Structure 1
Amino acid sequence: MTRVHDHRHVALIVASALFMQNLDSAVLATALPAMARDLGEDPSRLGAAITSYLVALTVFIPFSSWIADRFGAKRVFMLAILVFVFSSVLCGQSQGLGELIAFRILQGLGGAMMVPVGRLLLLREVPKKDMLSAMAWLTMPALLGPVTGPPLGGVLTDLWSWRAVFWINVPIGIMGFLLVAWKIPPVAPTRPGPPDVVGLALTGAALALVMFGLETVGRHVVPEAVSWAGLALGLVAGFFAVRHCLRVPRPAVDISLLSVATFRDATVAGSLFRTGAGAVPFLIPVMLQIGFGMSAAQSGFVSFATALGAFAMKPLVRPVLKRTGFRGALVANGVLAAIGIAALSLVGPNWPSAAIFVLLAIGGLARSLQFTSLNTLAFADVPTERMSAATAFYGTVQQLTPALGVVLATAALEVSSSMAGRADLMPVDFSRGFLVAAAVVLLSVPLHARLAADAGEEVSGHKR
Structure 2
Amino acid sequence: MTDSETLRPYKPMLWLVAAAVFMQMLDTTIVNTALPSMAADLGQSPLRMQAVVVAYALTVATLIPASGWLADRFGTRRLFLIAIVVFTAGSLACALAQSLDTLVAARVLQGVGGSMLLPVGRLAVLRSVPRQDFLAAMTFVTVPGLMGPLIGPSLGGWLVQVASWHWIFLINLPLGVLGAFAALRLMPDLRAPVARFDGVGYGLLAFGMIAVSVSVDALAGETPRRGAIVVLLVSGLAALVAYWLHAARAKAPLFPLALFRVRTYAVGVIGNLFSRLGSGGMPYLIPLLLQVALGYPPAQAGMMMIPVVLAGMSSKRIVVPLVHRFGYRNVLVVNTVLTGAAMASFGLIVPGQPLWLLIVQFACFGAVNSLQFTAMNTLTLRDLGGEQASAGNSLLSMVMMLAMSLGVATAGGLLAAFSTDAGADAAEPVVAAFRWTFICIGAVTAASAAIFAQVGNTRRIPDQVVETTEQR
TM-score, normalization by structure 1: 0.89
Q: Label 1:458 to 1:151 Cα distance change in 2 as closer, same or farther (>3 A).
A: closer
Amino acid at match of 1:224: R
Q: Label 1:140 to 1:444 Cα distance change in 2 as closer, same or farther (>3 A).
A: farther
Q: Which residue of 1 aligns with 2:34?
A: 31
Q: Which residue of 2 aligns with 1:63?
A: 66
Q: Tell me how far apart the structure 2 counterparts of residues 373 and 14 of structure 1 sit (CA, whole Å).
A: 25
Q: Which residue of 2 aligns with 1:16?
A: 19
Unmatched tracts of structure 1, length 5 or more? none
Q: Which residue of 2 aligns with 1:145?
A: 148
Q: Tell me how far apart the structure 2 counterparts of residues 17 and 213 of structure 1 sit (CA, whole Å).
A: 32
Q: Label 1:74 to 1:456 Cα distance change in 2 as closer, same or farther (>3 A).
A: farther
Q: Label 1:271 to 1:3 Cα distance change in 2 as closer, same or farther (>3 A).
A: same
Q: Which residue of 2 aligns with 1:102?
A: 105
Residue of structure 1 aligned with 2:197, choices 192, 195, 198? 195
Amino acid at match of 1:160: A
Q: Which residue of 1 aligns with 2:400?
A: 398
Q: Which residue of 2 aligns with 1:206?
A: 208
Over the aligned positions, Cα root-mean-square deviation in angstroms equals 2.9
Q: Tell me how far apart the structure 2 counterparts of residues 217 and 461 of structure 1 sit (CA, whole Å).
A: 39
Deviation (angstroms), 1:274:
1.0
Q: Which residue of 2 aligns with 1:437?
A: 441
**Deviations for 1:188-227, whole angstroms, at most 9, x for unmatched residues?**
3122222111111111111111111111125224622222
1:340 aligns with 2:342: yes
Please tell me whether the aligned partners of residues 49 and 101 of structure 1 are also in contact (alpha carbons under 8 angstroms). Answer: yes
Q: Label 1:431 to 1:238 Cα distance change in 2 as closer, same or farther (>3 A).
A: same
1:82 aligns with 2:85: yes
Amino acid at match of 1:350: G
Please tell me whether the aligned partners of residues 311 and 367 of structure 2 are also in contact (alpha carbons under 8 angstroms). Answer: yes
Please tell me whether the aligned partners of residues 92 and 164 of structure 1 are also in contact (alpha carbons under 8 angstroms). Answer: yes
Q: Tell me how far apart the structure 2 counterparts of residues 279 and 86 of structure 1 sit (CA, whole Å).
A: 27
Q: Tell me how far apart the structure 2 counterparts of residues 42 and 76 of structure 1 sit (CA, whole Å).
A: 38
Q: Which residue of 2 aligns with 1:297?
A: 299
How do 1:294-373 and structure 2 match up within 5 A? 294-373=296-375
Q: Label 1:218 to 1:318 Cα distance change in 2 as closer, same or farther (>3 A).
A: closer
TM-score, normalization by structure 2: 0.88
Q: Label 1:252 to 1:117 Cα distance change in 2 as closer, same or farther (>3 A).
A: same
Q: Tell me how far apart the structure 1 counterparts of residues 139 and 347 of structure 2 sit (CA, whole Å).
A: 31
Amino acid at match of 2:171: I
Aligned-pair identity (%): 34
Amino acid at match of 2:400: Q
Deviation (angstroms), 1:165:
0.5
Q: Tell me how far apart the structure 1 counterparts of residues 361 and 81 of structure 2 sit (CA, whole Å).
A: 39
Deviation (angstroms), 1:280:
0.8
Please tell me whether the aligned partners of residues 219 and 413 of structure 2 are also in contact (alpha carbons under 8 angstroms). Answer: no
Q: Which residue of 1 aligns with 2:265?
A: 263
Q: Tell me how far apart the structure 1 counterparts of residues 315 and 122 of structure 2 sit (CA, whole Å).
A: 21
Q: Secondary structure at the match of 2:284?
A: helix
Q: Is the deviation greater in 11-20 or in 445-454? A: 11-20
Deviation (angstroms), 1:420:
3.0
Unmatched tracts of structure 2, length 5 or more? 467-472
Amino acid at match of 1:458: P
Q: How many residues align?
A: 460
How do 1:119-138 and structure 2 match up within 5 A? 119-122=122-125, 137-138=140-141
Q: Label 1:136 to 1:366 Cα distance change in 2 as closer, same or farther (>3 A).
A: farther
